[in-house]
Structure 1
Amino acid sequence: MDSISKKYNKQKIILGLILTVLATLSLILSSKTTYASTYVMVSFVSQYFKEKTKERCDYVEFDGLNFTCYEIKISKSDFLSNATLSRFGQRNYIVAPKNLANWIKLVGTKRKNIGSIGIISYENGGFKVIKRCSKLKYTVGDNVQALEGFAKAASRDLSKLLVGEKI
C-alpha cells in the first residue's frame, strides 16, 4: 500500500470515529434518560486543574448534558484520607450515613476543603441533601474527556453483566 493510500485510510478511520461519536452524542442529547455507571475514571487537563489530572468517582450520572458525581464515604478516616474528592461533574456530592454527613458539614469541612461539593445524608433507606452543591461550568473538551471515561466505565459494567459477573 502506498503512502497516499495509507494516509487516506487513516483519515477515513478518523472520520468514521468522529461520525460515530457525533451520532452517539446526538442520540444521548436528544434523550431524556439519565445514564449511570460506577467507578468512573477520567484523565484530563481543564481550566480548574492546571496540570493533567486523574480522577475516579464512585458513582456518576449523566443526563445528556451534565455529569453528577457521587463520592461515597463510610467513615471519618475515609473522608479524611489522602484520596482526592472528585470534582469532574457539573454537580458533585459526598454521600454518607446521616451521622457522618452531619459531622462532615459541621467539623469535616474545617479539616478538609470540600469547596463546591454538596453533602447528601443517608438514613433508613432515604437520602436527604443537607448541603447543596454549586454547579460548575466546564469546557466542551472537559465534557468530552468525562464522557470518554463514563463510556469506558459503562462498557466495563455491561461486559460484566453479559458474562454474569457482579458489578
Structure 2
Amino acid sequence: MTKTLDTKNVEHALWRFTHKLGVYGCFEVTLGLGMTRDHKEIVDYITYDKTGVVRCYEIKTSYADFKSSARKSWWGNFNYLVVTPEVYSKIEANRDIIGGIGIYVVGENGLPESVRRGSRHQLTVGERVSIIESMVRSMDREEQKLYRIKPY
C-alpha cells in the first residue's frame, strides 16, 4: 500500500519528536507470537525507552481513516492518536474522543503537540516481552530493506 504525503509527513514528525537518547522506535510493528489478541495486528509506531515504558502511536491523516473499521492498536503503557489539525477538528466536533488515549496534533512547526494526555496502562511481563520481540522482528524487516538496496 502506498502512503500518502500527509502520512509520510506525520511519520517523519513523530520520528523527530521521539528520536532521543535511550528511546528506541519502529514503524509498522506487526504484533504476534504470544500475544493474546489477533496475531495480525499492526501498530503504526512503537517506542520503548530505557525505563521500560512502551508507547504505541496510531497515525490517522483523514477522518475517514479514523472512522474506518481498521483496528486501532492500543497496546502500550501509553497510547496515542497522532493526527493532522483537520482530522483533530473533525474528531473534536463529532465528540469522537477515545477514553484514556492521548492525542497529538502535528502543528505548524512540524512537530506533534500534545492536546490530550494519555492514561498509563499496566502491561504484564509477557505482553512487554511480546511487544519488544515484535519490535525486533519489525526492525529486522526494515534493516533488510536497506541492505537490499544496491551499494554505492
Same-fold call, TM cutoff 0.5? yes
1:80 aligns with 2:64: no
Where structure 1 has 5 or more consecutive residues not aligned to the other structure, the ranges are 1-31, 46-51
| Preserved CA contact (<8 Å) 1:105 1:119 | no
Tell me the secondary structure at the aligned position of residue 72 of structure 1: strand
CA RMSD of aligned residues (A): 1.8
Deviation at 1:53, TM superposition (A): 2.6
**One-letter code aligned to 1:63:** D
Task: Give the corresponding residue for 1:18.
Answer: none
d(CA) in 1 for partners of 2:87 and 2:99?
Answer: 18
1:120 aligns with 2:104: yes
Give the one of 2, 25, 28 matched to 1:39.
28
Deviation at 1:106, TM superposition (A): 4.2
| Preserved CA contact (<8 Å) 1:116 1:133 | yes
User: Could you list the per-position Cα deviations for residues 21-79 of structure 1 after superposition, in whole angstroms to 9, with x for gaps in the alignment?
Assistant: xxxxxxxxxxx61111110011311xxxxxx3332111111113011111110111100
Task: Give the corresponding residue for 2:119.
Answer: 134
Runs of 4+ aligned residues of structure 1 deviating over 6 Å after TM superposition are none
| Preserved CA contact (<8 Å) 1:119 1:133 | yes
d(CA) in 2 for partners of 1:132 and 1:164?
Answer: 40
User: Could you list the per-position Cα deviations for residues 104-136 of structure 1 after superposition, in whole angstroms to 9, with x for gaps in the alignment?
Assistant: 2342526xxx22211110122132111111111
TM-score between both structures, scaled by the size of structure 2: 0.75
d(CA) in 1 for partners of 2:25 and 2:66?
Answer: 23
**One-letter code aligned to 1:109:** D
d(CA) in 1 for partners of 2:147 and 2:58?
Answer: 27
d(CA) in 1 for partners of 2:30 and 2:95?
Answer: 25
Q: Give the number of equivalent residue pairs.
A: 125
Give the one of 140, 143, 147 matched to 1:155.
140
Structure with the higher fraction of residues in helix conformation? 1
**One-letter code aligned to 1:115:** G
Going from structure 1 to structure 2, the CA distance change for 1:137 and 1:158 (only over 3 Å counts) comes to same
Going from structure 1 to structure 2, the CA distance change for 1:156 and 1:108 (only over 3 Å counts) comes to farther
d(CA) in 2 for partners of 1:106 and 1:141?
Answer: 39
Tell me the secondary structure at the aligned position of residue 31 of structure 2: strand
Identity over aligned pairs, percent: 30
**One-letter code aligned to 1:156:** R
